[in-house]
Chain A
Amino acid sequence: MNALLTQFVDLLGALLLILAFAMISQRRILSMIHLFTAQGVTLTLATVVVGLVTRQPHLYLSACVTFVLKVLLIPRLLHRAVDRLDIRWETETLINVPTTMLIGILVVIFAFDLSMPISRLSSALASGTLGIALACILVSFLTMITRSKAVPQVVGFLAMENGLFFAATSATYGMPMVVELGVALDVLIGVLILGVFLFQIREQFDSLDIRHLERLKED
């Protein structure tokens, strides 16, 4: 039974990576937010299953926090921001999507190769998931890098945090509760501040393209 649950955690990790890849290939902001919500659901499930296998009740609590924050609250905030900024159909990437995906696969190979010796040393239940989690983080990072607009970058940042959280739960059975709550609060505050930033950027430049931020003074 335990072996099966471990494989289930592996499967959820794989799903997380698939969703990260879907995010890279996505051009619409609304779809990115939907994918982010799906990642939150996957992450909640993974945390519950790890809690089941390792019999650590505090993981259930952290799953609850994840659910409330990443499935309910943050997507809602993002939807509101998108509605108020009226940018549903924004479709700009710096590099075209197929090239980004090719880079993405290289990143995945790099992450897997990097984590191979570490997972061999580790005795955690799902040591293979470390590579998947690392790949998730790097792919989400790539999403951030290749977008020129602010809102997709915020979503990419949040997806990166998802990957980190998955790494923490699957490789070390979760951080201490205090740290976890702190991180959760950080992410929430981060989203709120970034939301304010979005409106400020728009007000200043009449666009959400962050290339405007490269100029330091008005000419």
Chain B
Amino acid sequence: MSVTTAGALSQALEIVAAISLAPLLTGWVGQCRAWLQNRSAPSPWQPYRTLHKLFNKESVVAETASQLFRVTPYVVFGCMTLACAIVPTLSTDLPLAPAADAIALVGLFALARVFIALAAMDIGTAFGTMGARREMLVGFLAEPALLMVLFSASLISKSTSLATIVETLAHRDFAIYPGLAFAGVAFTMVSLAENARIPVDNPATHLELTMIHEALVLEYSGRHLALLEWAASLKLFAYSCIGLALFFPWGVAHAQAPLQMLLALPVLALKLAVGGAMLALLETVMAKMRIFRVPEFLATAFLLAVIGMLVHQLLAR
């Protein structure tokens, strides 16, 4: 497969957009949440200030830390950037997209998760180990559900390549797929769990006994912490983009029409703004659940995704 100039350009633009816009999305969700909870809201640019502050700080590493601990932030950041690069958000003409299909994308998230869990256990503090165990518990239940959601979309387009899925869903005659309704509900539940959002984990908590994501990065500081926070933003961005690509794919530029990219960027920004507000609303109306309820929550997501596939099979005549 040859790489066209337009393709390389759209790929580069997509990576730059992901890296630069991801903290803004996190900030926007935080702002919406504050509005909904009647607090005075921080500016949506707050994550950038935090990142700036952290990058200027000295990075302290524990004496017992191995090389793994130092490498992990870079690996995680790299995984998330690549994930953002292969999800078609602006155009379906992506030179990197054939490198990884939907299954490899899930594997990419799993790689980042394994590294961050190992790094948390590496130091040997109690909280890190506890966080790592919980993260793996959430992860191993969320992964099959995410795979099933992606498979439901793959069944429609007969391909596991994300670019092909978006191409099929966005540029054919408009049709309603009831199977995707199930997949949509399941995907929402999985992404809440995977991004450490409220029914599963509270992103703003500093209460040690309930935190998952925070417990993992407890020992990091300075630029390492900045990279991990940025990677968390990128993960939220990647998940939002997968959701938009599967369920609201309209506005993504066609492979043959690179000029549509000009339109695709504002459309993406609008979709992300609406999606972020919805996420904040979901987080406000739900209460955090006990950690032992999480397997039930994710099992429900898995079952819904499976039923989505069954419904698709039943209705595909």
Residues of B within 8 A of A108 (CB): 307, 310
Binary B-proximity of A131-147 (CB < 8 A = 1, otherwise 0) = 11000000000000000
Given contacts A101-B300, A128-B317, contact A109 B178 (CB under 8 A): no
Q: Helix, strand, loop or mixed for chain A's interface?
A: helix
- With A108-B307, A108-B310, A131-B314 given, is the CB distance from A14 to B299 under 8 Å? no
Check A116–B314 contact: CB distance below 8 A: yes
- Please give, as numbers and ranges, the residues of chain A lying within 8 Å of B313 by CB-CB distance: 112
Q: Taking CB as reference atom, which chain B residue is nearest A6? A: B176
8 A Cβ contacts from B212-228 to A? none
**Known contacts A4-B174, A25-B296, A112-B310; is-contact A104 B303 (Cβ 8 Å):** yes
Contact between chains at B300 and A132 (CB < 8 Å): no
**A27 and B207 alpha carbons, distance in the complex (Å):** 27
Given the known interface contacts A7-B175, A7-B176, A18-B185, the answer about A132 and B303 at a Cβ–Cβ threshold of 8 Å is: no
- Determine if B311 is an interface residue (Cβ-Cβ < 8 Å): yes
- Are the C-beta atoms of A18 and B304 separated by less than 8 Å? yes
In this complex, what residue of B is CB-closest to A7?
Answer: B176
Q: Are B181 and A105 in contact (CB under 8 A)?
A: no
CA distance A107 to B57 in the complex (A): 58
B295 at interface, CB cutoff 8 A: yes
Chain A residues with CB under 8 Å of B296's CB are: 25, 97-98
Interface residues of A in 96-123 (CB under 8 A from B): 97-98, 101-102, 104-105, 108-109, 112, 115-116, 119
User: Would A105 and B303 be within 8 Å (CB), given that A10-B315, A98-B296 are in contact?
Assistant: yes
A21 contacts the other chain (CB 8 A): yes
User: What 1/0 mask marks residues of chain B from 161 to 177 whose CB sits below 8 Å from any chain A CB?
Assistant: 00000000000001111
**CB<8 Å pairs between A and B, sample of 17:** A7-B175, A7-B178, A8-B176, A10-B315, A11-B176, A11-B178, A13-B178, A14-B179, A14-B182, A18-B182, A97-B296, A98-B296, A105-B307, A112-B310, A119-B314, A128-B315, A128-B317
Footprint of A on B, CB under 8 Å? 174-179, 181-182, 185, 295-296, 299-300, 303-304, 306-307, 310-311, 313-315, 317
Q: A residues within 8 Å of B by Cβ?
A: 3-4, 7-8, 10-11, 13-15, 17-18, 21, 25, 97-98, 101-102, 104-105, 108-109, 112, 115-116, 119, 128, 131-132
